[in-house]
Structure 1
């Protein structure tokens, strides 16, 4: 006896799948949305769902969950190629396995998001504490100034000298080094104020300017901002000032022009050695390569989190990037493929720096520093010793010494010849945000000058260190708020510093004294010198970039 096959409508099959998912534990509202979408899309009764549609339906429901997870996370953009489950998972794994995979991956995502949220909260608390401290210091300074005005100039100078001695720390000098001294915030007897008429102010960015860098060739200045753009400015050779003609500018857009696109802050940038290409790193996890004329050449999209650091090697055949996704990537600049991805850190990578053309160092919020080599599967060296997040690392000009600075308030100098640090520099009282080596000593254009390390801290001071013995040369105390950036002049004789107190200071390295200062309209995030050493750029939180002529 023959039986007639029973027919089932598409709606009925969708309902059966929906009930199956519910009874199997998939109770998320996303699957109800997926079910309703299935009803609306296949609403003609009597038409069976074609082969493969069942998988598509289930996957659509899962994608709602993924989309929700992405929207909850502030780390990834909606355009990112980010997925909890792959189609093969849906076909080969049962429901319990799919649930486990989704749960684990979502937990990892939430954990990374919490880590970043804690970091932002920590930075906010730091700034609030620093502002409170600065206000107290300002009150004390104003009171002292009123008292000083009632005294003779001679007595006033003697009192300042005694204050310097009281404030300064007792420090042993290295042999032959200059005597340590402190520079007090007020009064500055010899520092000259740079008038705004002597400064070229570059306007156009729509948000804070986080990074700036001069091209190693030509008069090009690059800037990166929270407005999702970088800009390449052509700076004339003429003296700076309000009379200067507006510079030419190329706007490098990091978005596709959609009005609902999330912000893609430009977090870091770096020129190649020839000055022909500019690399920018963005909060969307992508690195972009631009010509000096502003043409987008390549987009490098392998990181799964914001890029915080980008560096070309000297030869120019590799580009190194470090990301919140805990990894560093070496890109082959001939093909723009990922040459190697290094996954050694257990937390976001904050900074990277090349030692030579094939080896480099990375640092992270996991307190660790790793020295790696292209082609090697494991770190060449691991440096452990910091008790807080390592904010920055820098190799000295010879590539033999590595300096690091941390939230633990210390800077350290390391050598590949030993595991423990050579020098543990502990004179700062708060977190150290950045460090820089002087372009001096053997292997530089200034071989007869001693090598010096500068460290800048949230305690508002800059320290200059003699490297051979790890002793303090000078403590530069002219700023009133956290110092975010320092940079040595190409000849190594001067230091520029920028602070949240809105001041750009210029110091004599040899004498440890403040010689020039400029007050801008916002906090300063980065300062840099051009290759000739006669112009300094600074980027500000008031959306501007300033260029200052340097003449002693």
Structure 2
């Protein structure tokens, strides 16, 4: 399990503090698919306590687990089907890893139930029997172990009685020796098996490599890292203002924030809190929904945000709400300004994409062409864009056209991200089918089908080099980030991988090129931000934060990298000498 949002990998390696919540395991399957609000009253085996569990509560914990584990698309789909957005649960009050914690408590209850006598003593004086989660929900396994313990206890009692009888007729020394041999030989073997079983079980769960020891020569010192705190939940996204050192961040606490890191700001960084509210009963109240996407316009005067509450919003750089854009019928997954700055493009879980007039806040056109949630969008020019979806299709659409101008098909699983190259001639896409594909508007099939990753590819980025960039004399590259813990750099002209970057130990969620294309930043749930030389593939800088990294981004000058993390922190790395 990946380390996310406080669900640290240590929960897989050691027993946590546990109480009694066995019924969660029993009811989980029954609750799936039910309408929110259903109540289930349960009592303990002895009837001392009574608990009330709602399907809303269980569904919310499952939803949060999917989010924290990096299953973003599954979380959005599950959230829609289970009506998470309609629940009254305040997600900011629910601690990270809540589902794992409650399952551990239920598991401890089952272990105790097997291993402890009616009088509260432990069988054999031995530690509580350790179970796997699957063992705990299988009645046959539980009953078999209970019976085995009871038989073992009866056998020990009979052996002790036989030893006592033998002592009455044998020499005291011999009787003592015999009794010791009968009473202690087998328990010692059992203890050894339990310890080995615990070790083996721990090793089978801990299938990730140990955290990488960062080379002191490349490690970014703490004096060069500024950690910004204020968010109360995971920080999913961050983006630098294109003209100044303002860093925007979006979080699960239903806020976006603008951090001022300009050199002339007084006393270090300051923050503006952009609260995402909805109208209820004539009052603005917090939406309690995740901020899922954000993007600055080209001249850095306006920030657009998308939220799980289904609204897009436009904010001024000083934190004032300028417009609220509401036409999606579900969460917004992605949003982008066009280069001209007059339109905003959004992708929704309602299977549609919308072009908005940034000046009036009105929807110019809604495109209902996908058959499943739209996951990403990218502008080709000021009026034409591409969109991708869990339906495995890519549509190229144009403002004013009532059908796609092009549809690309070829992926065999969800298409996670799409990006046009700087010239707008080539479109790259990546998918859960572990492939990276390059498309041209001049062809029906992909011109490159790049297969090298061995797990899902989460995101891709083109380098700001080659034609139509400020670095025209440098070759264009494409970077891909995967759940296989690697980043790959691709020469698209030849269709080959030039470098495989392998220092990360967990899934890589974000990559970003420096403005000159000479460096690549990558962020992973191993809590590390790595900076790579794109020509040599060498690691040149590295920083380990305090939470899994969701997003990395460069400022316009290319001397600072921002990163957002699962523990609610945002860090800024100063790469100046």
The answer, yes or no, to whether TM exceeds 0.5 is yes
Q: Indicate the residue corresponding to 1:278 in structure 2.
A: 303
Q: Which residue of 1 aligns with 2:81?
A: 113
Structure 2 equivalent of residue 506 of structure 1:
531
1:491 aligned to which of 516, 521, 531: 516
The CA deviation at 1:133 is 9.0
Q: Aligned match of 2:240 in 201, 214, 224?
A: 214
Counterpart of 2:570? 545
Q: Deviations over 1:389-439 (max 9, x none)?
A: 000000000000000000011111100000110111110000000000000
Superposed counterparts of 1:403-414, under 5 Å:
403-414=428-439
Aligned residue for 2:253?
227
Root mean square deviation of aligned Cα = 3.1
Describe the superposition over 1:157-193 as per-residue Cα deviations: whole angstroms up to 9, x where unpaired. Answer: xxxxxxxxxxxxxxxxxxxxxxxxxxxx67x768511
> Any gaps of 5 or more consecutive residues in structure 1?
1-67, 75-108, 118-123, 142-184
1:136 pairs with 2:207 = yes
Q: Could you tell me which residue of structure 1 aligns to residue 224 of structure 2?
A: 198
Asked if 2 retains the 8 angstrom alpha-carbon contact of 1:134 and 1:481, the reply is no
Structure 2: how far apart are the matches of 1:273 and 1:400? 21
User: Residue 59 of structure 1 corresponds to which residue in structure 2?
Assistant: none
Alignment deviations for residues 360-386 of structure 1 (CA, whole Å, 9 cap, x no partner): 000000000000000001101000000
Q: Does 1:417 align with 2:432?
A: no
User: What SS class does the counterpart of residue 356 from structure 1 fall into?
Assistant: coil
Correspondence list, 1:149-548, <5 A: 192-237=218-263, 245-255=267-277, 263-548=288-573
Contact 1:212-1:526 within 8 A present in 2 as well: yes
**Once the 2 structures are TM-superposed, how far is the Cα of residue 116 of structure 1 from its aligned partner?**
9.8
Contact conserved, 2:278 with 2:287, CA < 8 A, in 1?
no
- Give the distance between the partners of 2:549 and 2:310, measured in 1 at CA: 24
Q: CA deviation at 1:236?
A: 2.5
Shift of 1:245: 2.9
Once residues 576 and 205 of structure 2 are traced to their aligned partners in structure 1, the CA distance between those partners, rounded to angstroms, is: 31
- 1:459-498 Cα shifts (integer Å, max 9, x gaps): 0000000011110100000100000000000000000000
The answer as to whether partners of 1:134 and 1:480 remain within 8 angstroms in 2 is: no
- Structure 1 residue runs of 4 or more that deviate by more than 4 Å after TM superposition: 68-74, 109-112, 114-117, 131-134, 188-191, 256-262
Structure 2 vs 1, CA of residues 537 and 363 (structure 1 numbering), >3 Å: closer, same or farther?
Answer: same
- C-alpha deviation, 1:114, in angstroms: 6.3
**Separation (CA, whole Å) in 2 of partners of 1:414 and 1:197:** 44
Normalising to structure 1: TM-score of the pair? 0.67
Q: 2:276–2:287: 8 Å Cα contact kept in structure 1?
A: no
**Aligned mates of 1:116, 1:464 — CA distance in 2:** 38
The separation in 2 between residues aligned to 1:546 and 1:460, in whole angstroms, is: 21
CA separation of 1:543 and 1:259: change in aligned 2, threshold 3 A: farther
Q: How does 1:33-44 map to 2 (within 5 A)?
A: none
* Unaligned ranges ≥5, structure 2: 1-53, 61-76, 86-98, 101-132, 134-201
1:248-280 deviations in Å (ceiling 9; x for gaps): 211100025989865221000000011010000
Are the aligned partners of 2:436 and 2:451 in contact in 1 as well (CA < 8 Å)? yes
Look up the match of 1:165.
none
- Do the aligned partners of 1:284 and 1:305 also contact (CA within 8 Å) in 2? yes
**Contact in 2 for aligned 1:209/1:543 (Cα 8 Å):** yes
- Alpha-carbon displacement from aligned partner over 1:35-78 (angstroms, at most 9, x marks no partner): xxxxxxxxxxxxxxxxxxxxxxxxxxxxxxxxx9999998xxxx
SS in 1 for 2:81: helix
Give the whole-Å Cα distance in 1 for the aligned partners of 2:345 and 2:402.
16
Q: Classify the secondary structure of the residue corresponding to 2:571.
A: strand
